């Protein structure tokens, strides 16, 4: 669940993106996996969704090394990929800023750091 004020708006990277509503200092924790808000799903649970819902859902999922899929239950799912992101995952539970982020700046992460599907494909 996001722990800082953010908003969703059109992105120069892709589609919609997640933006900081206020300035953030380097090292600010912006997201934490929160049961009841964020979802963990097995591959079988994901495959149980009929199309077109499964395809739409997969757009927002990432897969952990153990094979479990994560769906952020809030607007964190709108974070776009960047090879030089302003956020990083410190472990499987937290996302923090790696540098100071200005209000109105898009929050980005490197999908290759945490999404096994992106790593295997070599693309996002």
124 residues of the chain, pLDDT tens digit each: 999 999 999 999 999 999 999 999 999 999 999 999 999 999 999 999 999 888 889 888 999 989 999 999 999 999 999 999 999 987 667 899 999 999 999 999 998 888 888 888 876 6
9/94 Cα distance (integer angstroms): 23
| Per-residue confidence (pLDDT) for residue 92, from 0 to 100 | 65
CB 3 within 8 Å of CB 107: no
The gap from C-alpha 98 to its chain's centroid, in whole angstroms, comes to 15
| Per-residue confidence (pLDDT) for residue 121, from 0 to 100 | 82
Phi (first) and psi of residue 16, to 5 degrees = -105, 155
The two tokens of residue 120 are: 């295997």
Please state the pTM of the whole predicted model.
0.89
Identify the CATH class of 6-117. mainly beta
The two tokens of residue 98 are: 């790696």
The two tokens of residue 15 are: 């589609």
8-state DSSP, 117:
H
């Amino acid at each position: 669940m996001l722990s800082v004020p953010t908003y969703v708006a059109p992105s120069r990277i892709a589609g919609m993106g997640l933006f900081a509503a206020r300035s953030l200092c380097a090292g600010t924790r912006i997201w934490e996996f929160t049961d009841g808000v964020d979802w963990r799903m097995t591959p079988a649970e994901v495959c149980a969704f009929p199309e077109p819902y499964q395809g739409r859902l997969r757009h927002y999922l990432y897969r952990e090394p153990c094979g479990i899929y994560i769906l952020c239950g809030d607007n964190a799912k709108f974070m776009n990929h960047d090879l030089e992101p302003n956020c990083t995952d410190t472990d499987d539970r937290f996302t923090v800023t790696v540098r100071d982020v200005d209000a109105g700046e898009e929050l980005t992460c490197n999908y290759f750091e945490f999404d096994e599907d992106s790593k295997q494909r070599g693309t996002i």
